Amino acid sequence: MIRLAGAIGLLALISVPIWLGNSYYVNIASQILIWAVFALALNVLVGWAGFVSLGHAGLFGVACYTGALLIVAGWGHLAAAVAAIAVTLVASALFGVLSLRTSGIGFIMITLALGQILWGIAYRWIDLTNGDNGIILRARPQPFGVSLESPSAFYFFTLLVFLCTLASMAAFAKSPFGISLRGTRDQARRMTALGYHVWLIRFAAILFSGLFSGVAGLLFLYYHLYVSPHVLGLPGSAEVLLMVISGGSGTLLGPIVGAALVVVMKTVASAYIERWNLVLGAIFVAIVLFMPDGIVPGARRFWCWGRNSLRELIAAKGENLS
Amino acid sequence: MSVLDVRGVVKSFSGLEVIANLDFSVEAGERRLIIGPNGAGKTTLFNLITGEIAPDQGSVRLFGRDITRLPGWRRAHLGMTRTYQIITLFPDDSLLRNISLSLLGLMPLRWNPLIRLEKLEAITAAARDILTSVGLEHMENRPLRETAYGDQRRVEIGMALAQRPRLMLLDEPFAGLSVDERADIKELLKSIPPEVTIIMIEHDMDVALEFAERISLMHFGEMVFEGSRAEVVDHPRTREIYLGE
């Protein structure tokens, strides 16, 4: 059943440019996938490690800026991408060393501060980052000579990266390391007594999360061909956190659903509804009220409840007839 | 050589001294019981031995090695394991997964982010053996939260055994159990190989006195008396502390 649903979902994703037709909507689909990669990266921390970060847009932005600066400096796209990921990992390591000194609200505040420091650097170090004007790129990369300039081509490129990310996350979730990470979230004391280095596991999780945040940042750069301090700001960190929480943290599907919800509201619904922010806020309130675990776990629960109720109804009718 | 040697350990919380210049040692293969009223510092002593908290003064030696400043997770790799007074397991995971986590704790494989845990047949087989040894093989796939409290205590002891310990610290393993469950756990503890040294904190004297060869009496963070079952039961300090005589 799950495999069938997965195959249908994959077919639907592959055929998006066909059934959406309009390049505007194909571009929105690409944006959803980019944000889904970012949300999946943050989900490693929020869902599986139990640490809420409000500075992840900083890591996302580090990859954007490093990639943009190196490409503008004349580096090839591949070398720039590798260097951008490496720099993002270094930044993630710094995040980890500083933020893992605490947990809970302290962790949130430190990541928020680190994210804002990166935003401040991007905004004020004008000689390097061009300040508020940002950095513009001329063209998207051409992996193996394939142009990514058309919306469909870029969509398929993004889809490929998204599927690799999803496969990595799925493997990670059921691997010894993924299960150990969840163990540190639930029972850190017990895990220490069992011989696990809890700090190092969490640190490695931040690196893993930073790696895919960097990948998402590069996709964002290639999509927009532009980066500005706005990318690293607190609204970006809060938005991706909302995607994870609204979709369902600690699940694979949740961050993807959350990303789709927020991107569709921001891009599609905003064209028809002037106060789209209000609608999005109302949706979040409804999620908190009726599905506090998020859309995906909530929908699963409603599905089970509906199925069981139907079975009971059928059984009761059968008894009445007999 | 002592398995465990605690010398001159002092620990205070916010100026309140809870462990006061405490000396304590245990020989290999011993079954040692630590008794004392609530607040005597028994669990704090366990926490100092396992490295959950660091002493203000004094030293802790395990198998002859000074571990006073060694992190808790590394002590587990030296062959020390513990159970908790309040069960702290992984309620959403199956019994098999709980035991597997315990086995993984001492393996480099725990860092692997790619292989599915279920595909690691050697770990699954070892976890099944452990579940069989604690009599829970018939419910290996049941989530822990759906098992009885007594069975959870068995899982906890199974997890401790999965670490192939040389020293086990059991913090009130009979707490909260029914009479039948106590008898079961007592039998389970008796089946632990004699080469494994066991230190146990327990309030249930009927069960604990039968289990232990030597008993240490703690009071206000000090080791008041140490001796055989008969010596401790007859000692006036025991009567004074427990009965107020």
Sign of the torsion angle spanned by Cα atoms B142, B147, B151, B157: positive
Closest-CA distance, A179 to chain B, in angstroms, reads 8
A174/B106 Cβ within 8 A: no
A174/B117 Cβ within 8 A: yes
Q: In this structure, what token pair is assigned to residue B33?
A: 């019981």
Strand partners, B94: B143
Chain A residues with beta carbon closer than 8 angstroms to that of B81: 193
A193/B72 Cβ within 8 A: yes
> ipTM of the assembly?
0.91
A204/B72 Cβ within 8 A: no
User: Considering only residues 62 to 101 of chain A, which have any Cβ-Cβ distance to chain B shorter than 8 Å?
Assistant: none
Pick from A171, A194, A197: which is nearest to B101 by CB? A194
Assess contact for A192 and B72: CB atoms under 8 A.
Answer: yes
A172/B116 Cβ within 8 A: no
Q: What is the pLDDT of residues B144-185, one digit of tens each?
A: 999 999 999 999 999 999 999 999 999 998 888 888 888 888
Strand B65-66 versus strand B31-35 pairing type: unpaired
User: Considering only residues 160 to 179 of chain A, which have any Cβ-Cβ distance to chain B shorter than 8 Å?
Assistant: 171-172, 174-179
Assess contact for B92 and B146: CB atoms under 8 A.
Answer: no
Which of B77, B107, B110 should we substitute to test contact with A (largest number of A Cβ atoms within 10 Å)?
Answer: B110
Q: What is the pLDDT of residues B69-88, one digit of tens each?
A: 999 999 999 999 999 988 88
**Nearest-angstrom CA–CA distance, A278 and A271:** 14
pTM of the model: 0.91
Q: Judge whether A195 is closer than 8 Å to chain B, CB to CB.
A: yes
Q: Judge whether B143 is closer than 8 Å to chain A, CB to CB.
A: no
User: Considering only residues 198 to 217 of chain A, which have any Cβ-Cβ distance to chain B shorter than 8 Å?
Assistant: 198, 204, 208
Q: In this structure, what token pair is assigned to residue A186?
A: 């639930």
DSSP letter for A268, please: I
**Nearest-angstrom CA–CA distance, A269 and A272:** 5
Assess contact for B28 and B214: CB atoms under 8 A.
Answer: no
| Residues 6+ positions from B211 with CB-CB distance below 8 Å | B31, B33, B186, B189, B190, B200, B202
| Model pLDDT, residue A322 | 67
Q: Determine how many CB atoms are found less than 10 A away from the CB of residue A17.
A: 20
**Nearest-angstrom CA–CA distance, A76 and A80:** 6
Closest-CA distance, A294 to chain B, in angstroms, reads 18
Structural domain that includes position B41? 2-243
Q: In this structure, what token pair is assigned to residue A161?
A: 């990266």
Q: Provide the domain count of chain B.
A: 1
B73/A197 Cβ within 8 A: yes
CATH classification of the domain holding B147: 3.40.50.300
Q: Determine how many CB atoms are found less than 10 A away from the CB of residue A127.
A: 6
User: Considering only residues 13 to 42 of chain A, which have any Cβ-Cβ distance to chain B shorter than 8 Å?
Assistant: none
Strand B222-228 versus strand B65-66 pairing type: unpaired
**Mean pLDDT lowest among A198-212, B32-46, B121-135, B193-207:** B193-207
Which of B93, B116, B118, B168 should we substitute to test contact with A (largest number of A Cβ atoms within 10 Å)?
Answer: B116
What angle separates helix B121-133 from helix B95-104, to the nearest 10 degrees? 110
User: Could you tell me the pLDDT band of residue B243, with boundaries at 50, 70 and 90?
Assistant: low
Pick from A172, A175, A194: which is nearest to B105 by CB? A194
**Nearest-angstrom CA–CA distance, A65 and A139:** 15
B105/A196 Cβ within 8 A: yes
Residue B245 scores a pLDDT above 70:
no
Chain B residues with beta carbon closer than 8 angstroms to that of A184: none
User: Considering only residues 111 to 140 of chain A, which have any Cβ-Cβ distance to chain B shorter than 8 Å?
Assistant: none
| Domain with residues A20-290, CATH architecture | Orthogonal Bundle (1.10)
pLDDT in tens, chain A (322 residues): 778 888 898 898 888 888 887 889 999 999 999 999 999 999 999 999 999 999 999 999 999 999 999 999 999 999 999 999 999 999 999 999 999 999 999 999 999 999 999 999 999 999 999 999 999 999 999 999 899 999 999 999 999 999 999 999 999 999 999 999 999 999 999 999 999 999 999 999 999 999 999 999 999 999 999 999 999 999 999 999 999 999 999 999 999 999 999 999 888 888 888 888 888 889 999 998 999 999 999 999 998 999 988 998 888 888 777 6
Chain A residues with beta carbon closer than 8 angstroms to that of B105: 191, 194-196
Chain B residues with beta carbon closer than 8 angstroms to that of A196: 73, 105, 110
Which of A192, A199, A251 should we substitute to test contact with B (largest number of B Cβ atoms within 10 Å)?
Answer: A192
A196/B110 Cβ within 8 A: yes
What angle separates helix A56-72 from helix A105-124, to the nearest 10 degrees? 30
Nearest Cα neighbor of B164 from B107, B223, B91 is: B107
CA of residue A7 relative to chain centroid, distance = 22
Pick from A176, A187, A192: which is nearest to B104 by CB? A176
CA nearest B101 in A: which residue?
A180
Q: What is the pLDDT of residues B6-36, one digit of tens each?
A: 999 999 998 899 999 999 999 999 999 999 8
Q: What is the pLDDT of residues B39-49, one digit of tens each?
A: 889 999 999 99
Chain A residues with beta carbon closer than 8 angstroms to that of B166: none
Q: In this structure, what token pair is assigned to residue B63?
A: 């198998």
Helix (H) or strand (E) holding B23: strand B16-27
Q: In this structure, what token pair is assigned to residue A7?
A: 């195959």
| Model pLDDT, residue B235 | 83
Q: Determine how many CB atoms are found less than 10 A away from the CB of residue A117.
A: 13
